[in-house]
Amino acid sequence: MKSSRTRTARQSKSPHKIPEDIAVKGMYDLWLPTHKARGKSKSTIGCYTAAINHFEEIWDYPFVDAGIDDWQECIDDCPRGRRTRENMKALVGLLYKYAIPRGAAPDKINLGEYLYVTGESGRRHPFTDLEVETIRQSIGTVPYADYIYCMIYLGYRPQEMLTREIDKHYNPAENCIIGGIKTDAGKNRVVTISPKIQPHLSGIIGGRKSGYIFCAPDGGKISVAKYRACFYEAIDKMGIKSTPERKLTPYSCRHTFASLMDRVKGAGDNAKLELIGHRTIDMLRHYQHA
């Protein structure tokens, strides 16, 4: 019994005990010292430090909720060369090797093994003005066209948008949605609701007083994977095509939001960073397209 109690106490004090709600970046921060302790060179550590920066869009996703498409989108969207994207893939594999035996990856699947790296980066593209108008005109006839249109003018990441709740985040008096994924750059940000989407947002909410703003038909939560599937089905019905040369994904809404902000005269970069929830000017520029 004494031996058992000692072992239990030792386990509970383990510096590698991982919180259930740990985010992607938090997992990296726990893993990195263990990798350094194995005598890895400064150049190797530098490669992984650069790699995690290209996962910034999902830094704050709960690690257990980060799916294969979330990791792959970041790799595909990386504007750097193939070597950087290979380092990103390798890093994901190392994070899961660290997390799985510590019970922080419930499915016990190393998603890094299922990621791929192509020869060229596949930077996401924004919608054109004509495509944005096509989406607007499709509201009411194409399912989820209203969600996509709202996403363009809110600038939310898919995970952020799908987790906003009416009674917690929607402020109709101030005409805004408050917060995002829990980071210094996102958790307190105030996203103003454009007059372009206010009628559609009101229609989506209807008479509901609680629950998710952007909900499933039964009022429940939509998973990112489900929303992604609905997104592709919707743009296909609208005649908007995604091609290898011009990739359109749910993140294209965010690229469109950043590009629309770039047209606003007199608005400083700090204000734009606050609206989109980015930490650096470089990341903002990555999302802006001429």
User: pLDDT tens digits, residue range 171-188?
Assistant: 999 999 987 554 444 456
Q: Of all helices (H) and strands (E), which one includes residue 192? A: strand 190-192
User: What pLDDT was estimated at residue 42?
Assistant: 86
Confidence of residue 6 (pLDDT cuts 50, 70, 90): very low
Beta partners for 192? 176
Residue 227 and residue 67: Cα distance in Å, rounded? 13
User: What pLDDT was estimated at residue 171?
Assistant: 93
User: What pLDDT was estimated at residue 238?
Assistant: 97
Q: Give the type of residue at 14.
A: S
Spatial contact of 86 and 118, defined as CB atoms under 8 Å apart = no
- SS3 of residue 213 by DSSP: coil
The winner for highest mean pLDDT among 67-71, 135-139, 166-170 is: 135-139
Residue 267 and residue 150: Cα distance in Å, rounded? 21
- What percent of the chain has a predicted confidence (pLDDT) above 70? 79
Q: What is the pLDDT of residues 72-101, one digit of tens each?
A: 888 987 877 889 999 999 999 999 999 999
Q: Which has more confidence, 39 or 55? A: 55
Q: Of all helices (H) and strands (E), which one includes residue 264? A: none
Spatial contact of 54 and 74, defined as CB atoms under 8 Å apart = yes
* Ramachandran category for residue 108: left, alpha or beta (phi over 0 → left; psi -120 to 50 → alpha): left
User: What pLDDT was estimated at residue 269?
Assistant: 59
Instruction: Say what the pTM is.
Output: 0.71
Spatial contact of 259 and 278, defined as CB atoms under 8 Å apart = no
Strand order in the sheet with 190-192: 170-171, 176-178, 190-192
